[in-house]
Every structure is written in structure tokens, then in C-alpha cells.
A and B are shown apart, each in its own frame.
Chain A
């Protein structure tokens, strides 16, 4: 309860999405839902958590934002050629290879997290310990088998799909469709689709777990509120357990902005719920087919390379 009060106070003070036009009234679909359809893009260079050097600064001035954007571009466009063929091949990407956007969020906030006030994920002691243990395991077993690789490298789950849906290095595109009783979100990265029933049905039984969880939605005024549970113990968003409870809020705050806000709760990992806000910008589209698994040369390359290195080390080379 205290957490909720803290969240509410936080939201009232500095979390409310500032609509460009407070009077904006979204159009309606034929069945009377606020219309949030279209292709949307959530790319931004604003990080989820506030960087250490910006501690205490919640919002940029316009000049600071411009300087931050320039620094970001310069950093990523500097000469990144490697010293040998391997590092050159692996790391010499400049901005041209990515589509992370070049702008901070229009609110000029310095982190996507709006609550707690320090812009940081409020890990609990237990959560930190579990993440440290997982990191230690990963350090030793990083390339033992496919299940030790990142979910995105395995083409199982991208951060753009989440949920929650965070901007990725490229293709942070979504298309929303609405039909009576449903909102569907087609996610460009690896053709995941979230179909969200609005009819108040119960969640799947707790024995059924899914990578994208199990989502149920309802409208509160012009805001779509989506409640997601039933996660797996393999997706661990930011270290969360399978019992993570996610609440997402989608509000069309002007014709070209869909404000996406989400709150994550998982008492086994976080000391209190935390909330982030990401503006999604209207895009002309279309979204493309990203057939990730079908072209996955990364997994056999990474694992095969690791085995070759081990064999070479054993042979004393």
C-alpha cells in the first residue's frame, strides 16, 4: 500500500505524461474504443535508467539535451575500426548500422524510469544477490550451449516485444489493430503478436507460463490498461522472476504520440514497484517481416567458435 501511495505521489509530482495538447480527444473505432491504431515507433536514446553522471538531474534543459544528443552521435560515429580482423568484424559498427533514434524523449527526461525519483531500478537485496549469482554462472558458462546465450541471439525474445516493450537497437516498430473485444500489437522484431482480450476473462491458470506472459486489457477513459502475468522463469526481465506483474498504460496524448507507461512489480526482485514512460511516435510504416531464426548464423557461429577456441587451447596453441 505504501508503495502505491509513493507511486501515486511520484506520478502526481513528475510522472504524469505531459500531453502536447491536454484537450486532445482520440478518434473512436466503430465499436467505440479510443482509436490507438497505426504504426508506432518507440526508438529513443534516452536510457531506461538514469546514468550516474546525471544523478540528481531529472530533466534536461533544451541546450543540455542537444549536447547529449550530439555526444551520443559523435561517440557512435567515431572511428571504431578494430586493431585486428576479429575485433574489426565484431565491433566496427557506427550509427549507420543502427536505428536507435538520435533524440532524447520529448519530455527531455534523463531516464525512461519516472518512478522512483532517482530513475533507477529499485532492486531489493534478494534481487541483487540472485542477479549476481546469475551473472557469475553466465561468466563461467557463457557459451556452453544455446540456452546460455541471450534470448535475442537465440531469436526467442527481443526486448522490443518484452513485455514491457522497450526500444531496441533497430526496428523498434509496432502496429496496433483493434477489433471488437481485442487490441492486437504486432511487433516487428521477430514477428511476435500480442493479442489482448478486453472481455474481462480470467488469466490462464498459473500452471501455464509463456514467454510474453498472458495479457488482459480494459479501457479506463482514453487509456488502455493491460495487465500481464504468467511469465516464464526463463525470460527474467531485468532480473525479475516468473511472478512479475506488469501493468501497461497506453494513452494517445496527441495525434502523433502514443504515451506508453508501464509499472513492474516483483517483490522477490524489487524493493518497490517501478514505472517508466516511453513516447511512441506515429510512423508511416510499413513494418517488415523479421525472420530472425530462419537466418540465425549467430548461434552456430558463437558456439562453434567457442568449441574451436577450447580445442585450440587444449592443443596448446
Chain B
């Protein structure tokens, strides 16, 4: 008897919801495109995210090419990419372009990624590793799997960066549904990609994170460095939510993997038994 009663309520509810669904498709669609929200009504960026681009190989469009390490064969080859730079070309000053080319020629020695150094911004975003956003009203933590890199986005401006650093100082604010992050206080050590694209400590990056539905984050970064570029330039790419069950950031503490490369020459010889 109780079962029958519950079934009839369910049937009534289903009947009613047919009407409400039919009446509200536009509103429902709007909610979906606005994506999930936090308790304070902001777009909810919490989650584990990762890009699907070849930007870390070269921000500019490029055909596939052999890699710098012959023994790696196809594993080390550069996959092709259509590029993520608005207007296709990075607007280098002539002398800076020469530096970029020299960087590329010596990339095994000079690319900070080879040595497991911190990736800087925006490179951290498009490294081929996931990152996790932990969002609170005053601070947003981004934890990157690569090299256990991390940064805190201050939602209240703490004033000028106290010291230059690899990941810079990030200060965020909301423009409508877009998180805008102003990043300053960089040192001159990080690169933008494996193609030798570089900057000085005058680098200024403005990032824009906008949810597009629940599982896609549109990412833009405007890059400015008067020592290297003739004008500010922009990259953009989607970042996708990692949806695997129980997905979590794991450790990529790569220091251990570069010790032989960096310190092998100082090892006691003959090798230990």
C-alpha cells in the first residue's frame, strides 16, 4: 500500500517535470553555460585540469620535427601543433629573436624544463601535466603536478611583489564571470616553451580564466615584456577537466630524475658495488 502510494507520487512528479522541462529549456541552457558556482556565487573553478595542446613544444604553429635526442627516436620527436599565439607570430625585437634562436639551438643545455626547474607563468598552465585549483574567496591555490610547482592567487592586492621569483606574484579579481590574474615579480629564468621563447624580469602576464560549461576552462594570457617584444601579445587555449574516477594529482618530483644529468660528473668512480 505504502509502495503504491510512493509510486503514484513519483509518477505525478515525473508528469509535472515533463512540463517544467519543456517550459524552461532556455533557462536550463543558460545555467549550464554559466557552469557551477561556489557558495559565494562565483564561477567554481575547483577541480583538476589539463590542456590538450602542443604549446609546451612551441607556442607558435609548427610542423612535426625530429627531436634533439637521437636515441629517443619517435618518442622524442616534436608533435605538430597549430599554435596558440593570436596573430601566429610572437612579436620579437630583432636582437631578442636572435636570442630565441640561440636558445633553441642550445635547448638541451638551456631549457629550464630539462633541469626540472620551476615552469613560470604561463608555461605552468600548458605543461603536459594536470594541475588542481583550490578556490576560496580570499585565496586561490593552484598546485601543478610538474615539479610540485605552486602559486597562490591573492584576491586582495598585497601590494608590489616583495621579491622576484620563478612563479611571480599573482593578484586576482573577477570581471563578471572571468577570473583575471595579474602576474608580476618574475625573475628572468623561466621560458615559455621548448622552442626557446623567453623573457626578462620585466615580464608582466595577465591571465583570464573563464568557465565554458562545467568541464572546460577557457584560458588566455597576455604577455608583455618591453625588453623582448615590440608589443603585448596573447595566447589562448581550452583547459579540460580530468574526469577519471578518483583522479588526483600525483607526485612528479623530478629533481631526483635530473641528478645524474646535473651532478653525475661529481660522482665517485668507480661506481659503487
Residues of A within 8 A of B (CB): 29-31, 37, 141, 143-147, 154-157, 175, 177-180, 182, 184, 186, 190-193, 195, 197, 201-202, 204, 208, 210-212, 286-289, 291, 293-294, 299-300, 303-304, 306-307, 310
Contact = CB atoms under 8 A, between A and B. Distances in A.
A156 B256 CA distance: 7
B266 A193 contact: no
Interface of B: 38-40, 46, 112, 115-118, 132, 134-136, 139, 141, 143, 148-150, 152, 154, 158, 162-163, 165-167, 189, 246, 248-251, 253, 255-256, 259-260, 262-263, 266-268, 272
B134 A306 contact: no
Contacts of A143: 268
Given A179-B135, A193-B150, A288 B165 contact: yes
Contacts of A310: 268
Q: Which of B112, B150, B158, B163 has the largest number of chain A CB atoms within 10 A?
A: B150
Given A31-B39, A145-B267, A180 B143 contact: no
Given A146-B259, A193-B150, A180 B141 contact: no
B267 A179 contact: no
A286 B165 contact: no
Task: Report, nearest first, the 7 A-B pairs whose CB atoms are least far apart.
Answer: A30-B39, A303-B266, A289-B165, A146-B259, A193-B143, A144-B268, A184-B134
A187 to B, nearest CB: 9
Contacts of A177: 134, 136, 139, 141
B141 A186 contact: yes
28 contacts: A144-B267, A144-B268, A144-B272, A145-B268, A146-B260, A154-B256, A155-B255, A177-B139, A179-B135, A182-B46, A186-B141, A195-B143, A195-B249, A197-B248, A202-B246, A204-B248, A210-B250, A211-B251, A288-B165, A289-B165, A289-B166, A289-B167, A293-B117, A294-B112, A294-B166, A299-B259, A304-B266, A306-B266
A210 B248 CA distance: 13
Nearest to A32: B39
A291 B150 contact: no
A300 B141 contact: no
A295 to B, nearest CB: 10
Nearest to B117: A294
Contacts, number: 119
A132 to B, nearest CB: 20
Given A30-B39, A145-B268, A195-B134, 5 more contacts: A157-B253, A179-B136, A211-B251, A291-B117, A294-B112
B106 to A, nearest CB: 19
B163 to A, nearest CB: 7
Given A154-B259, A186-B141, A178 B117 contact: no
Contacts of A157: 253
A304 B162 CA distance: 34
Given A30-B40, A144-B268, A300-B266, A184 B141 contact: yes
Contacts of B165: 288-289, 291
